[in-house]
Amino acid sequence: AGMANWSVSIPIDTVKSRIQTFPAGTYTGMVDCARKLIAEEGAATLFRGFGPVMLRAFPANAACFMGREVALKFMDWMGDSEGVLPGEVVVA
């Protein structure tokens, strides 16, 4: 899921980074920046750095999912037999 997120997000992130690093006034906005990038350097420019991002995304997202599972197991361990955590209000 995280890798799919990055494959969609990286062009937007590339445009954002370009706007942040170029002198003020170079681009009038996100769309202007994207159009100029594609016209001057080609559409592949939007995906520059895709490989390293994917190499990082897999272990980073795996760690997040593992953390989620550990937290859920901990909350189950802390809760009572009905799955209600201490201090949690149950509305029937």
pLDDT in tens, 54-81: 888 888 888 998 999 999 888 888 765 5
Rounded mean pLDDT of 3-12? 87
Q: For the whole prediction, is pTM greater than 0.75?
A: no
Q: Note the pLDDT of residue 33.
A: 96
Q: Note the pLDDT of residue 85.
A: 59
Among left, alpha and beta (phi > 0; psi -120 to 50; other), residue 13 is alpha
Asked whether the predicted pLDDT for residue 6 surpasses 90, the reply is: no
Closest C-alpha among 54, 12, 51, 50 to residue 34: 12
Most confident of 10-14, 58-62, 86-90: 10-14
Q: Note the pLDDT of residue 77.
A: 80
Q: What is the pLDDT of residues 23-44, one digit of tens each?
A: 999 999 999 999 999 999 999 9
Report how far apart, in Å, the C-alpha atoms of 57 and of each of 17, 43, 64 are: 18, 22, 10
